[in-house]
């Protein structure tokens, strides 16, 4: 076993359990979906829940629902009356994801949208307290600018996959690697943006925490 794998196992043994429902969803994600690595998983899921409990948001936005694992973790941390608005652009994902969200203990705290967040979010008369970005990496810059317009002062953005398997270190990504190019542009934009405070955590594939001033 690699040392990193051993450390991962050690961490998971020393944090809160994810619970039977999330375990079942994670297993189903690996059995039935083509890219199960896209699911947040145990460690990041517990972090998302705790972050929500720390800042106590009333309105939360998620871009990129996928199997619903991260959505359930975000909703788990919400107080009564708070709401998660989660967007999935791939309509083929709906048959898998919607039942897991609707049958969960947190269904009354989740609004699940199938469609393009870039088109739908600006039509919502909502000011968000927290946003979790985990959609198409090519459009991270566009997601970011859209979210900032509807994020309250002092609100937070969590951007996932911002280290992108280390590909961000490539000086000249191949012109067809639009995901890496998108992540690098996003990271450079946020680093230079004096509208926000920011820090990157080396959790899983990189997680950037951004606070709007």
Low-confidence ranges of the chain (pLDDT < 70): 1-3, 173-176
- Cα(73)–Cα(104) distance, integer angstroms: 11
Task: Report whether 126 contacts 59 (CB < 8 A).
Answer: yes
pTM given for the model: 0.94
Rg, C-alpha atoms of the chain: 17
Q: What is the pLDDT of residues 26-42, one digit of tens each?
A: 999 999 987 877 788 99
pLDDT of res. 176: 66
What domains are there in the chain, each with its CATH number?
Answer: 3-150 (3.40.50.150)
Residue 131 tokens, joined: 């946003």
């Amino acid at each position: 076993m690699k040392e990193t794998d051993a450390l991962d196992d050690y961490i998971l043994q020393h944090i809160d359990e994810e619970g039977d429902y999330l375990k079942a969803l994670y297993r189903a994600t690996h059995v039935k979906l083509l890219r199960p690595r896209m699911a947040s998983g145990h460690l990041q899921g517990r972090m998302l829940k705790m972050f929500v409990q720390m800042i106590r948001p009333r309105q939360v936005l998620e871009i990129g629902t996928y199997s619903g694992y991260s959505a359930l973790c975000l909703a788990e941390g919400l107080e009564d009356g708070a709401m998660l608005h989660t967007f999935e652009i791939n309509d083929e994902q709906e048959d898998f994801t919607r039942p897991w969200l609707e049958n969960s203990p947190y269904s009354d705290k989740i609004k699940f949208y199938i469609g393009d967040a870039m088109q739908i979010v600006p039509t919502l008369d909502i000011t968000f307290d927290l946003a979790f970005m985990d959609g198409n990496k090519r459009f991270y810059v566009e997601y970011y600018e859209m979210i900032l317009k509807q994020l309250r002062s002092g609100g937070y953005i969590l951007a996932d996959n911002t280290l992108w398997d280390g590909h961000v270190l490539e000086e000249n990504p191949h012109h067809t690697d639009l995901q890496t190019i998108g992540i690098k542009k996003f990271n450079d934009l946020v680093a230079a943006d004096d509208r926000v405070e920011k820090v990157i955590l080396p959790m899983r594939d990189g997680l950037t925490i951004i606070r709007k001033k």
